[in-house]
Amino acid sequence: MPDLFDPIELGGFSAKNRIFMSPLTRARAGRDAVPTAIMAKYYAQRAEAGLIITEATGISREGLGWPYAPGIWSDEQVEAWKPITKAVHDRGGRIVCQLWHMGRMVHSSVTGLQPVAPSPTTAPGQSHTYDGKQPYEEARALRLDEIPRILAEYERASQNAIKAGFDGIQLHAANGYLIDEFLKDGTNHRTDEYGGSPENRIRLLSQITERIISTIGGERTGVRLSPNGDTQGCLDSAPETVFVPAAAELERLGVAWLELREPGPNGTFGKTDQPPVSPQIRKVFRRPLVLNQDYTFESAQDAVREGRADAIAFGRKFISNPDLPTRFAQGLPLQADDMATWYSRGEHGYTDYSFAE
Ligand SMILES: Cc1cc2nc3c(=O)[nH]c(=O)nc-3n(C[C@H](O)[C@H](O)[C@H](O)COP(=O)(O)O)c2cc1C
């Protein structure tokens, strides 16, 4: 069996190890959602990762409600991503862009538009806006005649990602955002062909994935799902009934790799008593499977050596340890991350975490 330090083929390219950086929103872009120069420094510092999955990146203004998060719908954004992908490649790293439509998790004060979702629902809690936190607003149901526009936006974003020099994309279909809202019965109350049966709730994921694959190729396409538990009020009553067929569909479409965020009962980034679905998904999705959440070096090494996963994605450990693979390899202590600077502006808590001596 391989271990975390072995390379792995991910469709179109090879990753030098199986220690991946999971997608992390850090809010260091401009107010116009254009990436900034410090982002190149931050990502290049983390190029030891077998694969960097970028922070969630908006496919459209409607889909991006997070203050100072980047987008990839305009030429200006593409140009600003180029030095970032180059900086990572120059240091021997690999980087894919996580494509994001936030669905109901946006605030109209940021997007200028009412949130859209499968059904008219309101997320619990409060949204980050430029004027502090504000309660989420009720989403309107996406109309059938709008689906072609959404597909076209994913096509443009995936094409732009390749123009910007990314090795591929990761479709963000997790964590209570638009695609996850369609997948889960707690947020999808539609009675048309996009609601009801698992087959119908998978339809949007399937159509978006198919469109991206026809644009940039399956070998450059990965997907992230979060089958179990409640994320931002988005919950399915029986996750295995929808996520196992969803994974089988992604296998059929030719997705190169799949990442799952799976909290456990003692999770520190969301927790749940719903069991992970990865053991069943592993049987239907035969290409590389990446697992995430709350992994330590030891539990990650066990998961890969025992064949439960092909790679492990680390989030918070990569925020505070830019040289995480070296620290793992040499058994060096890890630095703790500071929540106060997760989404703050500037270099502090972003590019100033130190490397091991
Ligand atoms: C500051 C922060 C930002 C995050 N942003 C994203 C994101 O943009 N996209 C995403 O899919 N997950 C996001 N996540 C979730 C992480 O990718 C990951 O699932 C989570 O941190 C659990 O993994 P860990 O235990 O290794 O930290 C974020 C998590 C944190 C802490």
pLDDT at 258: 98
What the block records as the tokens of 104 is 């109901």
DSSP code at position 124: S
Ligand 1 atom with the smallest distance to the CA of 263 is 22
Tell whether 357 is covered by a domain: no
pLDDT over 90 (residue 45): yes
> Rounded to whole angstroms, how far apart are CA atoms 6 and 137?
46
Local confidence band at 186 (pLDDT 50, 70, 90 cut-offs)? very high
Q: Render pLDDT for 264-314 as a digit per residue (tens, 0 to 9).
A: 999 999 999 999 999 999 999 999 999 999 999 999 999 999 999 999 999
Q: How far is CA 32 from CA 4, 73, 79, in A?
A: 38, 11, 14
Tell whether 349 is covered by a domain: no
Across 313-336, average pLDDT? 98
Ligand 1 atom with the smallest distance to the CA of 56 is 8
pLDDT at 10: 97
Residue 21 alpha carbon to ligand 1 centre in Å: 9
Any idea which residue has 């629902």 for tokens? 121
Mutate to test the pocket of ligand 1, among 4, 25, 296 (most ligand atoms within 8 A of CB): 25
Any idea which residue has 């997608």 for tokens? 23
Query: What string of DSSP letters covers 291-318?
Result: EESS--HHHHHHHHHTTS-SEEEESHHH
Q: Where are the beta strands (DSSP E) in 11-148?
A: 13-15, 19-21, 52-58, 95-100, 116-117, 126-129, 132-135, 140-141
CATH of residue 239's domain is: 3.20.20.70
Tell whether 131 is covered by a domain: yes
pLDDT at 257: 98
**Ligand 1 neighbour 128 (Cβ under 6 A):** no
Across 48-66, average pLDDT? 98
**Ligand 1 neighbour 28 (Cβ under 6 A):** no
Residue 119 alpha carbon to ligand 1 centre in Å: 26
Local confidence band at 89 (pLDDT 50, 70, 90 cut-offs)? very high
Q: Is 177 a catalytic residue?
A: yes
CB atoms within 10 A of CB 72: 30
Local confidence band at 20 (pLDDT 50, 70, 90 cut-offs)? very high
Active-site hit among 136, 177, 295, 353 = 177
Number of structural domains found in the chain: 1
pLDDT at 102: 98
Beta bridge partner(s), residue 20: 313
pLDDT over 90 (residue 357): no
Tell whether 20 is covered by a domain: yes
Tell whether 240 is covered by a domain: yes
The kind and range of the H/E element at 72 are none
Ligand 1 atom with the smallest distance to the CA of 224 is 11
Beta bridge partner(s), residue 213: none
For the four alpha carbons of 115, 133, 315 and 55, in that order, the dihedral sign comes to positive
Tell whether 356 is covered by a domain: no
Tell whether 67 is covered by a domain: yes
Across 18-37, average pLDDT? 98
Residue 315 alpha carbon to ligand 1 centre in Å: 5
Mutate to test the pocket of ligand 1, among 24, 68, 312, 314 (most ligand atoms within 8 A of CB): 24
Residue nearest to atom 12 of ligand 1 (CA): 23
**Ligand 1 neighbour 232 (Cβ under 6 A):** no
Q: How far is CA 276 from CA 22, 190, 240, 245, 279, in A?
A: 18, 26, 9, 15, 7
Angle at which helix 239-253 crosses helix 198-216, to 10 degrees, equals: 30
pLDDT over 90 (residue 85): yes
Residue nearest to atom 18 of ligand 1 (CA): 315
Q: Render pLDDT for 111-138 as a digit per residue (tens, 0 to 9).
A: 999 999 999 999 999 999 999 999 999 9
DSSP code at position 71: B
**% of the chain with per-residue pLDDT over 70:** 100
Angle at which helix 37-45 crosses helix 75-90, to 10 degrees, equals: 30
> Rounded to whole angstroms, how far apart are CA atoms 317 and 90?
23
DSSP code at position 118: S
Beta bridge partner(s), residue 313: 20, 292
Q: Render pLDDT for 241-278 as a digit per residue (tens, 0 to 9).
A: 999 999 999 999 999 999 999 999 999 999 999 999 99
**Average pLDDT score over the chain:** 98
Range of the domain at 264: 8-341
Mutate to test the pocket of ligand 1, among 179, 266, 316, 341 (most ligand atoms within 8 A of CB): 316
Tell whether 173 is covered by a domain: yes
Q: Where are the beta strands (DSSP E) in the chain?
A: 8-10, 13-15, 19-21, 52-58, 95-100, 116-117, 126-129, 132-135, 140-141, 168-173, 221-225, 257-261, 289-292, 311-314
Ligand 1 atom with the smallest distance to the CA of 268 is 25
What the block records as the tokens of 17 is 């190890």
CB atoms within 10 A of CB 193: 11
Q: b/e for 44-60, b at 16 or more Cβ within 10 A?
A: bbbbbbbbbbbbbbbbb
**Ligand 1 neighbour 5 (Cβ under 6 A):** no
Q: What is the CA radius of gyration of the chain?
A: 19
Local confidence band at 38 (pLDDT 50, 70, 90 cut-offs)? very high
Q: Where are the beta strands (DSSP E) in 209-287?
A: 221-225, 257-261
pLDDT at 88: 98
**Ligand 1 neighbour 243 (Cβ under 6 A):** no
